[in-house]
Amino acid sequence: MNNVQLFDRAAFALLKNEAAKSPRKRANLNVHQSYDDIVQRLFIAMLPDSYVRPHQHIQRHKWEFFMVVEGALDLLFFDEHGAVTNRITLEADGECSGLEIPPHTWHATVCFEPVVFMEVKQGPYDVTEDKGFAPWSPEEGSAEVPAFLAKLKSANIGTAF
Tell whether 131 is covered by a domain.
yes
CATH of the domain at 98: 2.60.120.10
Query: Is residue 52 one of the residues assigned to a domain?
Result: yes
Domain annotation covers residue 13: yes
**Is residue 159 assigned to a domain?**
no
The answer to whether the CB of 66 falls within 8 A of the CB of 90 is: yes
Answer yes or no: is 117 within a domain. yes
Q: What confidence tens digit (pLDDT) does each residue in 63-97 have? A: 999 999 999 999 999 999 999 999 999 999 999 99
- Model pTM score: 0.91
